[in-house]
């Protein structure tokens, strides 16, 4: 059960992003001796370059968008000037407001030994940091990920943007080319377009948001086109170069063989993220990696060395902050108490959202996955264009799509495209978690007028479709007789 060795700490956590902070917090709460190593900023990507700044920027962009559309609401339009330094200043102020929750001071007060520096594994139980060796019975790898940089001729000769350094912009770009069409690409494209940049998205495939249902990509494509965002599908960047007088020239190619040089002031690369496993000494000490660079872990989040666990983006398979927090509990508990009982990570119900306007949220299976698995299913589709609250707020657009087990009200997957989608989907997530179905949603009182009524209306639509016709015919005769 125990080796005779003594260690400096029970648990050593590398990385102070969402996964690492939760791991350290749980371990300290359970009275273990914990060491947390971070080489850059506490809070990781989510606080400093990801979730927090992006949603703050999107809010400013939406307010300007609404003001520009004020006549829709019976208000006289006014010219809205964008003070971009002030917008970015607000982004930083929100980060500063949240920062104390993730600070060295707070975690030190919780009993965590916080160390600033670059960590490198020199054995399965030892880490070198700042020239000193720290030994630990268990190690949790939570180094997160960074923007993936594609191989494009000329890229090393220009100053390009990623989700890491875009927050250092001091002026609003007159024009911006966004490479990619995932969540980050879509959110940033819409934000900068609404603030006043001329935005062009470039995507290799024939659709955007390809990890969602096909209807989602079509829906958002129309929304972007209506807002003036140019989307080039089936296209790729062949080469880039510095333009004389400033800016960047980009050689764009499409599937038909067409090509041209286009000028943009800035280019944003948003084509995915790569796990931060380089230079950590992982492979040297025998920690096996997957082909994509993530740490290969088992169902308990243990690496090829069972005392070394991984969670968050560095482990995959989902790169969401909420998944990092979810995995952190399993990694920590399995580290500290795995000798008594181990817990398999629960990946059954994993929600996600894209915070464009309208929002996109989904959970569970897609139709394509159910077809591939040979699962019989039913589709319930409910449009959001006639909801009272949505009409009142000028948000009457979008849909809810629910996949049910054939012949049952059991929910297999949900996709929502519309206002407050990330909030609306919570009820479906809860139903799936509790093993409940549409009948339970139908029997629940929903506030009027609210966006959440859509969930109940969808359930009612499904129920009417499946009402027993024989019983209705009997009732019809009964009521006729009683008249």
In tens, the pLDDT along 13-51 reads: 999 999 999 999 999 999 999 999 999 999 999 999 999
Q: Is the previous residue joined to 77 through a cis bond, with omega within 30 degrees of 0?
A: no
Bridge partners (DSSP) of residue 242 are 248
Residue 147 pLDDT level (bands cut at 50, 70, 90): very high
Residue 225's contacts (CB-CB under 8 Å, 6 or more residues apart) are 231
Average pLDDT along the chain: 95
Over range 84-99, report the average pLDDT: 98
Judged against a pLDDT cut of 80, whether residue 3 lies above it is answered with: no
Residue 136 φ/ψ, nearest 5 degrees: -145, 145
- Quickly state the pLDDT bin for 2 (edges 50, 70, 90): low
pLDDT tens-digit profile of 248-296?
Answer: 999 999 887 788 899 999 999 999 999 999 999 999 999 999 999 999 9
pLDDT value of residue 4: 59
Nearest to 184 by CA among 208, 168, 159, 152: 208
* Residue 71 neighbours by CB distance under 10 Å: 9
Q: Provide the pLDDT for residue 436.
A: 97
**For the chain, percent of residues with pLDDT exceeding 90:** 92
Tell me the pTM.
Answer: 0.94
Instruction: Report, as an integer, the average pLDDT of 55-76.
Output: 94
Question: How much is the pLDDT for 474?
Answer: 80
């Amino acid at each position: 059960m125990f080796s005779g060795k003594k260690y400096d700490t029970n648990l050593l956590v590398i990385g102070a992003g969402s996964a690492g902070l939760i791991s350290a917090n749980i371990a300290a709460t359970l009275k273990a001796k914990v060491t947390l190593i971070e080489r850059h900023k506490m809070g990781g990507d989510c606080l400093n370059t990801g979730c927090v700044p992006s949603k703050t920027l999107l809010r400013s962009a939406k307010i300007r968008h609404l003001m520009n559309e004020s006549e829709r609401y019976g208000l006289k339009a006014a010219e809205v000037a964008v003070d971009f330094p002030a917008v970015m200043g607000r982004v930083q102020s929100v980060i500063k407001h949240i920062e104390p929750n993730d600070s060295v001071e707070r975690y030190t007060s919780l009993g965590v030994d916080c160390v600033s520096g670059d960590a490198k594994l020199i054995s399965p139980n030892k880490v070198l940091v700042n020239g000193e060796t720290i030994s630990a019975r268990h190690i949790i790898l939570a180094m997160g990920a960074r923007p993936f940089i594609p191989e494009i001729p000329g890229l090393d000769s220009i100053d390009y943007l990623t989700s890491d350094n875009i927050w250092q912009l001091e002026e609003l770009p007159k024009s911006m080319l966004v490479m990619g069409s995932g969540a980050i690409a879509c959110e940033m494209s819409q934000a900068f377009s609404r603030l006043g940049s001329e935005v062009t998205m470039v995507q290799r495939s024939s659709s955007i948001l390809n990890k969602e249902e096909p209807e989602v990509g079509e829906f958002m494509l129309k929304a972007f086109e209506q807002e003036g965002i140019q989307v080039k599908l089936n296209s790729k960047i062949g080469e880039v170069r510095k333009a004389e007088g400033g800016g960047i020239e980009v050689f764009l190619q499409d599937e038909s063989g067409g090509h041209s040089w286009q000028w943009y002031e800035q280019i944003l690369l948003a084509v995915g993220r790569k796990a931060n496993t380089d230079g950590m000494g992982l492979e040297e000490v025998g920690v096996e990696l997957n082909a994509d660079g993530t740490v290969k872990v088992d169902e308990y989040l243990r690496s090829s060395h069972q005392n070394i666990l991984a969670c968050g983006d560095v482990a995959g398979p989902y790169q969401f902050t909420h998944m990092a927090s979810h995995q952190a509990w399993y990694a920590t508990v399995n580290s500290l108490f795995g000798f008594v009982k181990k817990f398999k990570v629960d990946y059954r119900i994993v929600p996600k959202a894209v915070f464009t306007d309208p929002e996109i949220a989904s959970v569970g299976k897609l139709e394509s996955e159910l077809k591939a698995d040979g699962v019989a299913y039913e589709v319930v589709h409910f449009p959001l264009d006639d909801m009272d609250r949505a009409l009142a707020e000028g948000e009457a657009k979008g849909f809810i799509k629910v996949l049910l087990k054939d012949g049952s009200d059991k929910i297999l997957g949900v996709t929502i495209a519309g206002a407050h989608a990330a909030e609306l989907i919570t009820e479906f997530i809860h139903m799936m978690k509790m093993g409940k179905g549409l009948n339970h949603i139908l029997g629940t009182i929903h506030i009027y007028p609210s966006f959440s009524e859509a969930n109940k209306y969808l359930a009612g639509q499904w129920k009417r479709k499946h009402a027993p016709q024989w019983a209705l015919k009997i009732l019809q005769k009964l009521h006729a007789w009683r008249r």
